């Protein structure tokens, strides 16, 4: 988010470098139940982002001192693969991945019925295979589908998408260039049935009016993303049911 570049991010016709209009999100693909040995899983693409999520649990929480006698804890590990970015990323945990894991865990805790599983742990592994800005949103969107695929009781899914500002334009779902050289990045995650916000961050600067317009776009896009999440789960259940019927 430096805001300084000679690169034109939005041209005179209002078209962005990847051909999108300002209020257009990137193409999204979601598939539930892609891993045989996890309790639940999801593969998600949004633009050039590629994310794999695996869920285990509820199972006994280890280490024991992490247990909560009143509810399950959601342990998230967001991990960016070394090959996911253009400059090889040093493998392993860093401050950024710890922060993102924590905020994804908190967002998921708003929808998962953790009170049903005291002392248990629900473990969520998010692997960023390819990154192009918006990976915390992609990871969170994939994680809620993987949790539903694991059959874990939830109040709703959590679609997440960013809005922001590039070349003075309010834009939806920033790509890497817009994230690097634009003026603001605002990731948002919501509970669609109530329109409650479970994640909202802001990096950069926008006027209040611009932020209002950006959030309107992001809320609309989050609802559309939610439909794609639900379709992925419906396809998964239909496949499961027809497989069981033929056995
Ligand atoms: O991915 P997200 O937008 O949630 O988080 P960010 O910290 O704003 O990172 C924006 C983008 O920068 C990532 O999606 C990656 O494409 C890139 N990045 C990178 O190239 N190397 C890193 N070590 C971290 C991020």
Q: Whose CA is nearest to atom 18 of ligand 1?
A: 85
pLDDT in tens, 177-192: 999 999 999 999 999 9
Locate 125 and state its tokens: 């592994």
Residue of 85, 93, 97 best suited for mutating to test ligand 1, as the one with most atoms within 8 Å of CB: 85
Strands 160-166, 169-172: pairing kind: antiparallel
pLDDT at 1: 67
pLDDT at 94: 95
pLDDT at 240: 81
Contact 108, 153 (CB under 8 A): no
Q: How confident is the model at residue 3 (pLDDT cuts 50, 70, 90)?
A: low
Residue of 88, 131, 199 best suited for mutating to test ligand 1, as the one with most atoms within 8 Å of CB: 131
Q: What is the pTM of this model?
A: 0.96
What radius of gyration do the chain's Cα atoms show? Answer: 18
pLDDT in tens, 93-128: 999 999 999 999 999 999 999 999 999 999 999 999
pLDDT at 132: 98
Average pLDDT, integer, range 153-181: 98
């Amino acid at each position: 988010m430096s805001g300084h570049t000679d690169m034109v991010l939005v041209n005179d016709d209002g078209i962005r470098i990847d051909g999108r209009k300002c209020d257009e999100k990137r193409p999204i693909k979601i598939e539930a139940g892609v891993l045989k040995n996890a309790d639940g899983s999801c593969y998600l693409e949004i633009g050039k982002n590629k994310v794999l999520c695996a869920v285990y649990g509820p199972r006994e929480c280890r280490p024991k001192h992490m247990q909560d006698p009143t509810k399950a804890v959601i342990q998230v590990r967001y991990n960016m693969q070394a090959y996911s970015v253009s400059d090889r990323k040093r493998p392993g945990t860093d401050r950024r991945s710890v922060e993102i894991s924590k905020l994804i865990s908190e967002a998921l805790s708003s929808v998962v019925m953790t009170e049903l599983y005291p002392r248990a742990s629900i473990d969520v592994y998010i692997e960023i295979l390819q990154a192009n800005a918006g990976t915390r949103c992609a990871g969170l969107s994939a994680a809620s589908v993987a949790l539903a695929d694991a059959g874990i009781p939830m109040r709703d899914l959590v679609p997440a998408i960013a809005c922001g500002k590039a070349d003075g334009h309010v834009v939806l779902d920033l790509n890497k260039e817009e994230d690097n050289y634009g003026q603001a990045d605002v990731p948002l995650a919501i509970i669609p049935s109530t329109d409650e916000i479970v994640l909202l961050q802001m990096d950069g600067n926008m006027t209040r009016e611009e932020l209002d317009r950006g959030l309107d776009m992001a809320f609309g896009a989050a609802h559309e993303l939610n439909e794609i999440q639900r379709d992925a789960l419906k396809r998964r259940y239909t496949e499961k049911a027809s497989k069981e019927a033929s056995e």
